Amino acid sequence: MPVGRPFISCMYRLVCVHCAAVYPADQIIYTCSRCGHLLAVEYPLDELSIDRSRWRRRPLSVWRYRELLPVTGEPVTLQEGGTPLYHLKRIGEELGLPHLYAKHEGMNPSGSFKDRGMTVGVSMAVELGMTQVACASTGNTSASLAQYAAKAGMPAVVLLPAGKVALGKIAQALMHGAKVISIRGNFDRALEMVHELCLSHGLYLLNSVNPYRLEGQKTIGFEVVDQLGQVPDRFVLPVGNAGNISAVHKGLNELLALGFIDRLPMMTGVQAAGSAPIVRAVREDLPAVIPELSPETIATAIRIGAPVNAEKALVAIRATGGTATTVTDAEILAMQRDLARKEGIGVEPASAASVAGIRRLVEDGQIDRNERIVCVVTGHLLKDPETVIAQCAPPCEIDADLSSLLSALSS
Ligand SMILES: *Cc1c(COP(=O)(O)O)cnc(C)c1O
Ligand SMILES: [Zn+2]
């Protein structure tokens, strides 16, 4: 499939985020062979000449920004990105925040932001000549990988923590034809196992240790800047493996280096109280996170004790004057209901954590009320129907006549 290089005018390389060792872009490598830390894609930004008016003529989507993405050929795409940015009018009024927004990533093809990463990651798998893809997942990564692997015609293997994945996500992974394996262990163990499998058996690893996946995810930040017409003061994300907060920060740093924006938002991470190693590191000013050995929360998408991108996330938060906070499961569920009922926005529990985190920070007096704040709500309501049903009264069943209907409506 010799498609040439229709999209890209630059060469990029992989650079270790810790020791700055450099690797060629076509090497199949996930961690630095010198120091073991993660790798990031680096573009020669001062040699790029990107015409922003060309971006504006393309539809709002991941691929609007193709000059800052690593894929050179035709991408494997399901038309991801271009998600709505909603003004949270009612919740904002309650909190005294006139400029509060939600970027609804649940509106992606598989219902989470993971699609932004997978369109790039699976495209790179094809470009690098890989023939099988794999991931560990709390659910959404597996759903997304299954869908993009199907589009690419490639077999996919996904490892899940048994009993800890929301129903909708398993349904997606199964229906799209991935080989789904549940391990009797948590996500962190599943990731170790799949990493070993990929290194020893030549599958392509598509967790957020994969540097290309995060390239796709950084476009959340690009879209927000385009949709708002300016840089928000604060960017709020739920944090699990911390790939997304790192990705958005990386992308906005690139726009800054290109002179497209003149400042960075305060990067703000929200974790569930039972699974909060990053918040602890920020609060206690630790140089690195201390893994949480038995993370627990109803927000299964962020039930992660050893975030692999923690190092980058701590830089993102500290370098931008941001912060991190925890929210309880009760606060998460209350905000899931508020988003659903006061704004018409249906999200899964982990997604509500970002807006719940803002409520907490407002109550703690840590937010200037005039800030322009964008909360990323990461996944769709239907991902986790069981948690929804458990919170709502069941439908009221009646005889099929009008008087029964009227009495049901008046009771
Ligand atoms: C993956 C995911 C997260 C966490 O993102 P990280 O990049 O792991 O920090 C949050 N919410 C949802 C719905 C997710 O699928
Ligand atoms: Zn290194």
pLDDT digits (tens, 9 = 90+) for 84-123: 999 999 999 999 999 999 999 999 999 999 999 999 999 9
Q: Which has the closest alpha carbon to 2: 74, 76, 75?
A: 74
CB 351 less than 6 A from any atom of ligand 1: yes
- CB 274 less than 6 A from any atom of ligand 1: no
Q: How far is the CA of 272 from the centre of ligand 2 (A)?
A: 31
Closest listed residue to residue 296, CA positions, set 332, 261, 321: 332
- The rounded distance, in Å, linking the Cα atoms of 326 and 273 is 5
Residue with tokens 């790179």: 124
Tokens of 136: 């560990």
pLDDT at 8: 43
What pLDDT is recorded for position 31? 94
- Mention every residue, 6+ apart, whose C-beta is less than 8 A from residue 375: 88, 100, 101, 102, 103, 236, 237, 354, 355, 357, 358
Q: CA-CA-CA-CA torsion for 254, 115, 84, 353, nearest 10 degrees?
A: -90
Alpha helices in 3-65, H assignment, sequence order: 52-57
The predicted pLDDT at position 49 comes to 86
Based on the number of CB atoms within 10 Å of its own CB, is 294 exposed (0-12), middle (13-18) or buried (19 or more)? Answer: exposed
In the numeric block, which tokens belong to residue 36? 């073991």
Tokens of 362: 């407002």
For ion ligand 2, residues whose CB falls within 5 Å: 16, 18-19, 21, 32, 34-35, 37
Among the residue ranges 50-54, 178-182, 217-221, 401-405, the one predicted with the least confidence is 50-54
Residue 243, ligand 1, Cβ within 6 A: yes
Give, using CA atoms, the residue closest to atom 5 of ligand 1: 240
Give the right CATH number for 85-111+213-391 from 3.30.470.20, 3.40.50.300, 3.40.50.1100, 3.30.2130.10.
Answer: 3.40.50.1100
Q: What is the mean pLDDT of residues 144-171?
A: 96
Q: By C-alpha distance, which of 69, 152, 138, 185 is closest to 379?
A: 138
State the ligand closest to the CA atom of 135.
1
Q: How far is CA 408 from CA 347, 392, 396, 397, in A?
A: 29, 17, 8, 9
Q: Answer yes or no: is pLDDT of 1 > 60.
A: no
Q: pLDDT value at position 208?
A: 86
Structure confidence at residue 373 (pLDDT): 98
Question: Residues of the chain with pLDDT > 70: what percent?
Answer: 98
Which residue has a Cα nearest atom 2 of ligand 1? 301
pLDDT at 85: 98
Interval between CA 219 and ligand 2 midpoint (Å): 26
Structure confidence at residue 326 (pLDDT): 98
Ligand 1 contacts CB of residue 240 (under 6 A) = yes
Check whether 9 has a pLDDT greater than 70. no
Q: Is the pLDDT of residue 2 over 80?
A: no
- Ligand sitting nearest the alpha carbon of 34: 2
* pLDDT at site 5: 41
Question: Max CA-CA distance within the chain?
Answer: 76
Distance from Cα 134 to the centre of ligand 2, integer Å? 24
Ligand 1 proximity of 378 Cβ (cutoff 6 Å): yes
For residue 137, give the nearest of 152, 153, 126, 149 by alpha carbon: 149
pLDDT number for residue 33:
96
Question: Residue 6 above 50 pLDDT?
Answer: no
Residue with the two structure tokens 């906005």: 252
pLDDT tens by residue, 306-339: 999 999 999 999 999 999 999 999 999 999 999 9
Per-residue model confidence (pLDDT) at position 314? 98
Nearest atom within ligand 1 for CA of residue 383: 13
pLDDT of residue 221 exceeding 60:
yes
Q: pLDDT confidence of 278, banded at 50, 70, 90? A: very high
* Cβ count near 347 (within 10 Å): 30
Q: Enter the DSSP assignment of 163.
A: T
Q: Are 69 and 120 in contact (CB under 8 A)?
A: yes
The closest ligand to the CA of 22 turns out to be: 2
Quick one: which ligand is closest to 35's CA? 2
The mean pLDDT of 389-406, rounded to a whole number, is 96
Choose among 56, 108, 107: nearest CA to 78: 108
Measured CA to CA, the distance from residue 42 to residue 216 in angstroms comes to 14
Cβ of 137 closer than 6 Å to ligand 1, yes or no, is no
Average pLDDT, the chain: 95
